[in-house]
Amino acid sequence: MTAVEKLSLPSRRPWPGPARLVAGLPRLLGTHAFRLAALYFAVFAASVLGVLLFVYWTSAGFVERQTEATLDAEITGLAEQYAQRGLSGLVQIVAARSAGDRGDNMLYLVTDPGGRPLAGNIAGWPAGVPARAGSLSFTIEAKSQGQTEPHPARGSLFIIPGGYRLLVGRDISDGAAFRNLVKTTLLWAGLLALALGSLGGAAMSRNLLRRVEEVNRTSERVMAGNLSDRVPLKGTSDEFDQLAANLNRMLEQIERLMTAMREVTDNVAHDLKTPLSRLRTRLELALIAPADDAARSEAIRGAIDEADRLLATFNALLSIAEAESGARRSQAAPLDLAELAGAAAELYQPVAEDSGFAVSLETQAGIGIRGDRHLLSQAFANLLDNALKYAGGGPIEIRVLRRGGRAVLEVADHGPGIPEGDREVVFDRFVRLEPSRTTPGNGLGLSLVRAVAKLHDGAVELADNHPGLRVSLSFPETAT
């Protein structure tokens, strides 16, 4: 496997199960959470390093700078002495300053041009130090607690006219020890901080990963068919909780739609298959029965009627689907509700009167709504169809009015009405309350009415008309 393949693997591979989370270190490296943690760690490490360097510079550097400053001051003082009193004066001063341990770790040495000491607190010319003017680092043999050991020292060498040499230095073994202490302390502090940082980063990424993992696991289960599964909420109302809540709402909607679709499919299967098989039987019988032309024509006419009913059912289903999908919003136009209701009433009036109904229309003018004229007309026609079919005589009242700031159309009859418990069921597709199903119809009328109402941000209500049924369709009112 090449490096490129290795790198691209995590993104190509489907999300593995949670059991592999612990073992899946290579996978972890490919996650966004890991990259985030790594970035965090890098920034953290850089800032820790910066802080430590600063601390080192200000603490260890301080001692060094102090040494340099002391040396400078000392050299300036000796130079002045030399200028005033000459070489012998300088030798005296050096001898005076070298006498006894002053506790300042200063080192002095004046030698003749051959390197033999004239004065000073160093036994001889330090090994390896060239007889050249300038600042230098060297090692001296110092006695401490009866033992001789090498000590590091810094100093400056001056060549005095005549070849005499002046070495001024300082034993910096104490400073070096201090610097080493600072170095060690800082190293440990840095290591500790980095360890804590990487632990924190890992914990953070693991936590992040776990929340994402939960969402992924739920999605997988839903995709596998368990539509009722939901992403668990932590109750922290952070971004992850919000994400989970939104996902859950989406899943709820999907579940509702799937359930509705399944119901519709079942209903369609039943309510279209039955008339189809009836149609087939009719045609079959017409074919096998020895019949005269008149009987055959009758059978064929019956089959055509059956086919027409099927088509009507099919068209009604399509209209409902169209209204429910909201595809027809493009057809929306300002409409006068009274006019729409009047047209529908006018269409049905003669047939209603012939069936013994008195149709009354009571409207308020100037109630405007916005909508699709064809779908609304069809919805109104369905309400009137229903009233004619089920009301069994008595007046049918159509009213257009304003109620609670909404435009309302009411169709009321004096028939048997719909029992309160059934008032929600009747909106479902193919639901017909009459078990015998003797009245013609397909049980889609009110489904369409509701779908049309929803499309127009409206609502349908069924109420008791004492006696009878009162259907109210309400819409948001707009200016006419």
Q: Which residues of this chain interact with another protein, rule CB under 8 A?
A: 301, 304, 307, 311-312, 315, 318-319, 322, 327-328, 330-331, 343, 346-348, 350-351, 354, 372, 374, 377-378, 381-382, 384-385, 388-389, 440-442, 445
Task: Identify the burial level of 204 via C-beta atoms within 10 angstroms of its C-beta, where 0-12 means exposed, 13-18 middle and 19 or more buried.
Answer: middle
The DSSP code sequence of 205-253 is HHHHHHHHHHHHHHHHHHHTT-TT--PPP-SS-SHHHHHHHHHHHHHHH
Distance CA 449, CA 451 (A): 6
Q: Are 359 and 348 in contact (CB under 8 A)?
A: yes
Nearest to 358 by CA among 386, 413, 397, 395: 395
Nearest to 198 by CA among 45, 48, 33, 53: 45
Task: Identify the burial level of 435 via C-beta atoms within 10 angstroms of its C-beta, where 0-12 means exposed, 13-18 middle and 19 or more buried.
Answer: exposed
Q: Are 357 and 301 in contact (CB under 8 A)?
A: no
Distance CA 423, CA 450 (A): 12
Q: Are 171 and 107 in contact (CB under 8 A)?
A: yes
CA dihedral 364, 365, 368, 371 (to 10 degrees): 80
As a whole number of Å, the end-to-end CA separation of the chain is 73
Return the residue matching tokens 């008595």: 394
CA of 318: how far to CAs of 302, 312, 376, in Å? 24, 10, 15
Distance CA 405, CA 369 (A): 12
**Chain Cα centroid distance, residue 189:** 37
- Residue 302 CB neighbour total at 10 angstroms: 16
Q: Are 70 and 170 in contact (CB under 8 A)?
A: yes
Instruction: Choose between 218 and 447: whose C-beta lies nearer to another protein.
Output: 447
Q: Are 33 and 205 in contact (CB under 8 A)?
A: yes
Burial string for 179-202 (b: 16+ CB within 10 Å, else e) reads: beebeeebeeebeebeeebbeebb
Crossing angle for the helix pair 373-390 and 293-325, to the nearest 10 degrees:
130
Cα angle for residues 301, 302, 304 (degrees, 5° grid): 65
Distance CA 229, CA 210 (A): 18
Strands (E), 145-191: 147-160, 164-171
